[in-house]
Structure 1
Amino acid sequence: MITIPDKAKQFLLLILKLLIVCTAFYYIFSHFQNKKTDWNTLISYLDFTSIIILLLFSISNWTLEILKWQNLISYFKTISFLESTKQSLGSLTASIFTPNRIGEYGAKMLYYPKENAKKIMFLNFISNGSQMVITCFFGLFGFLIYSLNFTLTKSSFWINFNLNNTLLAFLGVLTFLFILFYIFRKKEFYGLSVQKLFTKTKEFPKQLWITNFQLSIMRYFVFSHQFYFLLIIFNCNISYSLALATIFIMYLFASIIPSIQFMDIAIKGSVALFLFNNFNIESWKIVIITSLMWIFNLVIPVLIGSYFVLQFKPQKT
């Protein structure tokens, strides 16, 4: 077996760090180059107070995500809030090129000894899975509010018809996935199978479960209301209940469509355009709102995470 000298390993790690950070910056730069945004119009809507409030929303969003990871990792190890921040934002930066943040599983493993790899995968599954359950629950609740708020005019009939068809398609896909999971429940991936995961979730400490779901719900409401706050800023004429219902549906659709992190803006943007256009809200406003959500909740954390990636030192075994 060929052994690689320590200096060579350090050099390769440095190259990998720089590659991740440079690619992240390239994606951000290329997005702004390709996006034809009227910055003068944007500035006319956003004042200093609005920017501070949006930043507070984003800080709250990521603080809750960091607390989630700190809570979950206490299953076998106690870490500080700062350490949880490094792991959460560093893994976010490293996973931006992978579908649905799959790379986050591998990135977080690097912070721990190899013998803890299965535990890290399991805890990531709990973290992302609980957020997905919350998204599905409120997404379906959003469908209910959406339907109840429309009278059966010709136009609203077609809105409901299209949404109901989409909901049926979603439930069909969900049923198919459940069947698929059942068939391959014993198939192992990195030593874990669906059956083992569900067995382990039953054995997971109840208090950690409760705290995890509480933080997931709070986080969901934070970024949902951040979107609603942007609708207010841009003078979008829509009621609170319908706005939240539409936002819930948007996040549901966006979460079930496989995408790379930096393509997330395109997915959410297209879904948001489809849904909010039903309320005669100008398309450019929705495009700018989804872009601002992307900047505040992904670009800024990735830039901070880039620093943690460069500071990363592999776990010694």
Structure 2
Amino acid sequence: MQSNGFVPQRSYPRTKKIVFWAKIGILLLIVSYIFITVTRQQHDFQSAWGYWQNANWLSFSAFLLLLLTPVNWLLEALKWQILVRRVEPITLGEATQGVLAGLAMGFALPAQLGDTAGRLLSLRSDQRWEGIGAALVSGGMQFFAALFFGTVALFVQLQVGAKEMPMAQWALFWLLLLTLLLGGLAGWFRHRLAHLPFRWMQRWEKYWAVAAHYTTAELWLAFGAASLRYLTFSLQFYLAMTLFEIHLPARETATGIGLVYLGKTIIPAFNLLSDLGVREATSMWVFGQWQVPATQILSATLTLWLINILAPVLVGLFWVWKLKLTNRSS
């Protein structure tokens, strides 16, 4: 597409034997963490089993819930395709492979390290590591979307119970507004990222400088994909609640879902294995104010985790094996 002026980096070929055992190690690590995560949640799965047995899995809600899972990750792949094409033009299928490989690796590795590595290793270009900036912007867009909708949900919650809400929640609301403003300013002044004034940081510029070359249209397209994805898994949350007979007024349902995803976004995931514990705790706390039984909301959140995270991770294991740990041209 556009020329970004990046200088191709020297490739360092490795032997096929090293690549083979590196893949074996990555796959074993991911499978081990999946096993540990499921084992840790055994009690929760047992608690939810009764509700799963009584749920109507042949209903329209269940069908749509499952159908939206590929839509969810295709939107993430579309966002990645829009942003990474500054480094390397890829098809939507290739973007999906990279996203699923990153999801699988991110399941085992801390923070966003695994997710970013999986996406970058799926690229063909010898400039693949210069896509770090694209990965950061992609994650930032999803964070920004969750922050935006979560802030709206928090505002509605504050308006409904304005007299009962502690000052700490109003302080959080204004802090979130400030964060959104700072995020907007960062996007507005993004072109300065290409030439940082700090000499000690200039040696790393090439890894995030791609963020400075995005047009406003590209950023809006990426944010649109992030917003559509947010609305998709929010709809899945609602469908999971319906499946387990959780019925609340529309305002409480939408507000609760927004607050759950807000909490999942801003609360650090101390559990390096997945965000499952954060999602559970936040959901039970938020919906507990409307007297939703803990086991029911737990059943809904575990179902979301199984179909939106665990199932795609298992698919992503295949693409982890297909990753080229060396440049494809070498």
Please tell me whether residue 227 in structure 1 is matched to residue 237 in structure 2.
Answer: yes
State whether residues 68 and 212 of structure 1, in contact with CA within 8 Å, keep that contact through their aligned partners in structure 2.
Answer: yes
Q: Which residue of 1 aligns with 2:151?
A: 140
Cα separation, partners in 2 of 1:91 and 1:263, compared to 1, 3 Å: closer
Shift of 1:151: 6.8
| Counterpart secondary structure, 2:145 | helix
Alignment of 1:141-160 (within 5 A): 141-150=152-161, 152=163, 157=164, 159=165
Aligned equivalents of 2:274 and 2:283: distance in 1? 14
Aligned length: 302
Of 74, 84, 92, 1:81 maps to 92
Does the CA-based 8 Å contact 2:142-2:226 persist in structure 1? Answer: yes
1:43 aligns with 2:53: yes
1:304 aligns with 2:315: yes
Counterpart CA distance in 2 for 1:242 and 1:262 is: 31
Task: Pick from 205, 230, 253 the counterpart of residue 215 of structure 2.
Answer: 205
Segment of structure 1 superposing worse, 241-250 or 291-300 = 241-250
- Tell me the TM-score normalised to structure 2 length: 0.79
| AA aligned opposite 2:29 | I
Match of 2:277 among 266, 270, 274: 266
Please list the CA deviations of residues 217-252 of structure 1 after superposition, one character each: whole Å capped at 9, or x if unmatched.
100101111111222232324211221112112211
1:72 aligns with 2:78: no
Whole-Å Cα distance in 1 between the matches of residues 248 and 279 of structure 2? 19
Q: 1:4 to 1:72 in 2, by over 3 A?
A: closer
Q: SS of the counterpart of 1:47? A: coil
Give the deviation of 1:141 after TM superposition: 0.7
How big is each residue's C-alpha offset from its partner over 1:33-90, in whole Å with a ceiling of 9 and x where there is no partner? 3432342332212322333211112121111011111222222322122211211101
The answer to whether the 8 Å contact 1:24/1:93 transfers is no
Structure 2 spans left out of the alignment, 5+ residues: 1-11, 186-195
AA paired with 2:235?
A: H
* Post-superposition CA distance 1:169-209 (Å, at most 9, x none): 7679999999xxxxx9946398149xx95x75453123321
Query: Secondary structure in 2 aligned to 1:291?
Result: helix
Residues 1:289 and 2:300 aligned together: yes
Distance change >3 Å, CA 129–CA 63, structure 1 → 2: same
Look up the match of 1:181: none
Task: Note if contact 2:280-2:301 (Cα within 8 Å) is conserved in structure 1.
Answer: yes
**Which string of whole-angstrom CA distances, capped at 9 and with x for unpartnered residues, describes residues 245-300 of structure 1?**
12112211211222256431110111111111111111111111111111111001
Q: Which runs of 5+ in 1 are unaligned?
A: 179-183
